[in-house]
């Protein structure tokens, strides 16, 4: 099990990698670093929102979960 700090560091480095690669792809497609950066930032924001909504929706689905007798969420 990772510590909370390690998980946060991994999430931040993953997000930075995504921003850099999306900026590079946007630059390659448009020829503009500003447009590529804007594409990367908007993509990160939309992705964040979609992920949060996706997680909230999946939290309501019981399929595939394993519950124990002591699990309060099984009721």
* Confidence category of residue 1, pLDDT binned at 50, 70, 90: confident
Specify the pLDDT at position 72. 65
User: How many CA atoms, within 13 angstroms, populate the side-chain half-sphere of residue 28?
Assistant: 6
33-58 and 4-30 are packed helices; what angle lies between their axes, rounded to 10 degrees? 130
**Mean pLDDT on 33-51:** 94
**pLDDT at position 27:** 97
Q: How many other CB atoms sit within 10 Å of the CB of residue 63? A: 5
Handedness of CA 16, 21, 27, 30 (dihedral sign): negative
Q: Is the pLDDT of residue 23 over 90?
A: yes
């Amino acid at each position: 099990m990772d510590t909370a700090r390690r998980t946060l560091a991994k999430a931040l480095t993953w997000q930075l990698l995504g921003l850099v690669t999306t900026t590079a792809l946007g630059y390659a497609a448009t020829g503009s670093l500003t447009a590529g950066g804007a594409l990367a930032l908007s993509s990160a924001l939309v992705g964040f929102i979609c992920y949060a909504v996706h997680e909230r929706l999946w939290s309501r689905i019981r399929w595939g979960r394993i519950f124990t007798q002591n699990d309060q969420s099984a009721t």
